[in-house]
Structure 1
Amino acid sequence: MTDFTLISDDEWRKRLSSEEYRVLRQAGTEAPFIGEYTDTTTEGVYSCRACGAELFRSTEKFSSHCGWPSFFSPLAGDRVIERDDFSLGHHRVEVLCANCHSHLGHVFAGEGYDTPTDLRYCINSICLTLEEKPVADS
């Protein structure tokens, strides 16, 4: 099994497109409302584009109208890492893939969405791949 945390920067550049690399490995952000999965309602499981780890289910995806795919919960608590981010001069919580430590987006709390967790995992489409398959509710 590959330890993705040991992959060199040069190897990531070979594995990912330049835009995937910019977002996944350099904590960039894709433009809002252009991502492949922003408005997708297809049933399935969303995985990390960098390493393939399963991260989110379509049953936890909701329409937040923010311009990026939004989920109220990861597939399991150990699938993502959350860490403080002050890169824009204020506090946010960055979301990373727990398997390869690639940047996925940010999580926001207390925005008033009618979801079971009151969380919005705002994830860049370019960080995800969708495997279409039936998904059982948890």
Structure 2
Amino acid sequence: MTDSEKELVIAQQYSDVADSYLRYLNEKNLEGILSLYAENATVEDPVGSDVITGKVELRKFYSKAVNMDLVLTRTGQVRVAGVEIAFPFQLRMNVDGVPMVTDIIDVFRFDEAGKIVSMRAFWGPFNHKPANE
């Protein structure tokens, strides 16, 4: 296998992780989500908030997410650069009875085993609006 063929295989594996991540969140599959992460991974969601480190803390964080009524949909291609990916998606959920949509870009960095070592979610108040707008 040539180097460029290897890069394509790895890029596809990373893209598959992004899709699995969104699918597991939609399915409320906590163990599936955690299986994507390395043992000492970090999550910063949104960027600028406190960084969560390690599987114990990630379990607490994602336990809340899987108990919410969320719908996540990828809205563009996964971009792969080296050992990192970025991908856009929308989060739809009700907030105080109002259907809301948030446009988010997640950035994952991977280790040699293909596990996520860092997840950073880029979104803020300007990306959050009523779903009917």
TM > 0.5 fold call:
no
Q: Between Structure 1 and Structure 2, whose CA radius of gyration is higher?
A: 2
- Which protein, 1 or 2, shows the higher relative CO under an 8 Å CA cutoff with sep ≥ 6? 1
| Higher strand proportion | 2
| Higher helix proportion | 2
TM-score by length of 2: 0.30
